[in-house]
Chains A and B, each alone.
Chain A
Amino acid sequence: MDFYFGMLQIVGLHTILGLSAYIILLTGQVSMAQAGFMSIGAYIAGMLTVLAEMHLIPAMLIGGVAAALVACIVGFPALRVKGLMLVVATIAFGEFIRIFWFNFDYQISRGGVKLGPEGGEGFKQIRFFPENGWSTLDVAIFIWVVAGAVIAAVWWMDRSRAGKVLRAVGEDDLAAQSAGINLTVVKVSAFTAGGFIAGLGGSVYAHYTTHIEHLNFDIVMATFAIIYPILGGLSNVFGTILAVIFVQVFLLEVLRPLGDLRNLLFGAMIIVVMNFMPHGLFSAQVASRIKGVFSGRKEGANA
């Protein structure tokens, strides 16, 4: 049974990560720095619960806010460049944060045991869950409470005026600007919100694995974050969730016998999908086709 709870935990964590990139992608920006923002939340929340012995929930919020602040600061200069240059800038920034943690040492000795992040060795013993006697099921439920809150918040945002504004900027930023939308505010807000969600996800992730190191937040993780909303199509949040389930459950777990070749498979899957279904597996077209099948209409009736 623990296997399925573990599965549930991974899907929940990756949903949070995917939605953090979803918000930014709505404005037409591809951020490859989500793994970096996630690592900020992870390290800071971990340090707060382990070194300052804080409770998890305030630590998570502080981790999220810290990541949001960094994302906001990154947002400004990064917005001077568009499109593909932004991809390069965010990749470089993500790697910058990763190398920062690789060089980051802050340990205190408590009761003869050294605690805290230790450069390349990583940050061990983030034992909030085991110390408070949480079972796998408890942790899974907790992750899904957080994920559920994030899903609800993003879904509500998407349907409100804010969502329309983000999409308007994503569709055509010049047209949006002519309609009186302040592009800088919108883009930086999207970055900040995405950073907060990623930081929140990172702080949960750190406590879930109990051991984080800089390699957890490499380019593979950044690719995971951005590929979910792309595969899911940008029509709504549920596409992203379906994409997480598709990648994490179907692709990586069902095909687990392939063992170490999973990264290879992940890369190959991206190539195949981008060639054959470039607008995502669950794009608006596919969604309307499915809807058409269920309501008995002919295919393409409302395409």
Chain B
Amino acid sequence: MDYVQAIVDGLLFGAVYALIGIGFTLIFGVMNKINMAYAAASFAGAYVSLGIAQVVGLSGDFGLPPFVMFLVSAVAGGVFAYIVYLICFRFTPDHYELASLMATIGTLLMVDEMVVQATNGEPQNYPEVLQGIFDNPMLEFSEEFAIRGDLLTLFIVAVIATLGLLWVLFRTKLGLATRAVAQQRMAAQLCGIRVDRTNATTFVIAGVLGGLAGAMIGAVVGTLLQSLVVIPLTIKGLIVTVIGGLGSIPGAIVGGLMVGAFENVFLAIRGVTERDMYVMLLLFVFLAFRPQGLFGRVAVRD
């Protein structure tokens, strides 16, 4: 058994967990609320791209460039995220976080059921659009250790997406507004920032990242199966967010890579059915010894 291989594969795949974690953490940053439906709604975007591919018939030999799938998935993810914002956050009471929490859980169940209805609960083949950009295996160091080309592509795309997000957050007016709202909502409002619009934009940005993550998962795994994607990945994204520290983007990145490597090692040792149990144990270890997460602030009462 080669642990180095497992860890490297896991780290590369962990990049999508990092993307999902960033989405959760961004929304928590501006709203101070958790959007339970975030990952599910974004993966619905991946299902939309898949549906289009099936209708147009792209899935056989893939005529269009692969980025079209990603683009469709990202756009649909953004649109769904906006819808989630409207139905779960825009009109629920601001000070009563239980309302938006339960509404997003309701949305999560709804999206899950919609995907079941759309796919009959069967796994759907996803075109492996990440294949062929690099050779596979890309780098072969020895017989036991090689870097997979599709995972490397996924990692690079995720890094580019993260850099893009950081550019938006730290180099544009929109990012300035987002950071202002995250820091002090009332003060931001007094400076003339439209908080509602900033919140909605943050949701859309997070949704775009999530849609991208969903499409990449589909492309690397080769299939999308509702019972393995919608709710399990929501939970994994939440775990990444908590481990990294709620509201911290570096935390989500480190947490995502860590969870990816960790689960892949346990996949190699204990098999696929028990893998997620160990990820949850990792969360409980963090809750017991470092509840604020890797990069989180220590909770203060306001």
Complex formed: what's the CA distance from A88 to B280 in Å? 11
B31 to chain A, nearest CB (A): 11
Interchain CB contact under 8 A, A95 and B280: yes
Contact B235 A91 (CB under 8 A): yes
Contact A266 B109 (CB under 8 A): yes
Is B276 in contact with A274, judged by CB distance below 8 angstroms?
no
- Check if A99 sits within 8 Å of B117, measured CB to CB: no
- Known A95-B235, A267-B108; judge A274-B273 contact (CB<8 A): no
B103 within 8 A of A: yes
* Contact call B112/A275, Cβ cutoff below 8 A: no
Residue of B nearest to A32 (CB): B105
Q: Mark A252-264, 1 if CB is under 8 A from B, else 0.
A: 0000000011011
Contact across chains for B101 and A271 when beta carbons are under 8 A apart = no
Tally of A interface residues using CB under 8 Å = 44
How long is the Cα–Cα vector from A260 to B242 in the complex, in angstroms?
34
The secondary-structure label for the interface of chain B is: helix
| Segment with Cβ contacts to A, from B139-147, B186-194, B209-217, B281-289 | B281-289
Q: Quick check: which of A78-86, A128-136, A196-204 contacts chain B, the rest being far away?
A: A78-86
- The number of A-B residue pairs with CB atoms under 8 Å apart is 129
Binary interface profile of A, 67-93, with partner B (CB < 8 Å = 1, else 0)?
000000000011011111101110111
Q: Chain B 209-248, CB within 8 Å of chain A: the 1/0 string?
A: 0000000000000000000000110010011011000100
Contact B109 A267 (CB under 8 A): yes
Contacts of B117 in A (CB 8 A): 260-261, 264
Q: Interface of A with B (CB < 8 Å)?
A: 30, 77-78, 80-85, 87-89, 91-93, 95-96, 99-100, 102-103, 120, 174, 218-220, 223, 226-227, 230, 260-261, 263-264, 266-271, 274-275, 278-279
Residues of B within 8 A of A (CB): 28, 33-34, 87-88, 91-93, 96-103, 105-114, 117, 231-232, 235, 238-239, 241-242, 246, 273-274, 276-277, 280-281, 283-284, 287-288, 291, 299, 301
Pick 5 A–B contacts, CB within 8 A, sort by A.
Answer: A85-B242, A85-B287, A88-B239, A226-B102, A230-B102
